[in-house]
């Protein structure tokens, strides 16, 4: 069996709030993965988003129709759970705003502080 990482959307302009998304891979920027999920119009979309806009990271079995798109895959569920727990810990307590960019949805540390915290734990 193959396992990947899923999360829920906290806030996004395109994706529905609370929608389950698959994390496919991360681009060159360590903070913006490619995900796929249900858009506000009801279609399945694949887009870049930000980790701070995702919550509830967890491992899940990757269905056959998603295996060609999901790059982050593990044969052992334990490895996928460790990576999901690491992502949840890294992005815990990060400040982010609503879609309009004016309303603070979650107060916390800045994105730069998250990367500093990550570098200091290595």
This prediction's pTM: 0.80
Angle at which helices 111-121 and 77-90 pack, to 10 degrees?
130
CB atoms within 10 A of CB 35: 27
- Tell me how far apart the alpha carbons of residues 117 and 12 are, in angstroms, rounded to a whole number: 25
Name every residue whose Cβ is closer than 8 Å to that of residue 94 and which is 6 or more positions away in sequence.
Answer: 51, 52, 106, 108, 109, 110, 111, 114
Model pLDDT for residues 1-60, shown as the tens digit of each residue: 899 999 999 888 899 889 999 998 876 556 788 999 888 888 989 998 888 889 899 999
Give the chain's mean pLDDT. 83
| Highest mean pLDDT pick, 18-27, 62-71, 74-83, 100-109 | 74-83
pLDDT for 80? 92
Answer yes or no: is pLDDT of 95 > 90: no
Q: Name which residue leads in pLDDT, 61 or 11.
A: 61
Q: Is the dihedral of CA 72, 76, 79, 85 positive or negative?
A: positive
Name every residue whose Cβ is closer than 8 Å to that of residue 24 and which is 6 or more positions away in sequence.
Answer: 33, 34, 35, 36, 46, 69, 70, 71, 72
């Amino acid at each position: 069996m193959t396992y990947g990482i899923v999360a829920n959307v906290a806030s996004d302009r395109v994706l529905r709030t609370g929608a389950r998304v698959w994390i496919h891979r991360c681009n060159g920027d360590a903070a913006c993965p490619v995900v796929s999920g249900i858009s506000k119009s009801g279609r399945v979309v694949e887009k870049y988003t930000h980790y701070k806009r995702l919550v509830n990271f967890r491992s899940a079995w990757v269905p056959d129709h998603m295996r060609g798109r999901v790059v982050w895959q593990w044969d052992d569920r334990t490895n996928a759970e460790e990576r999901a727990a690491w992502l949840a810990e890294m992005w815990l307590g990060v400040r982010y705003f609503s879609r309009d960019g004016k309303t603070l949805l979650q107060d916390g540390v800045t994105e730069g502080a998250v990367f500093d915290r990550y570098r200091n734990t290595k």
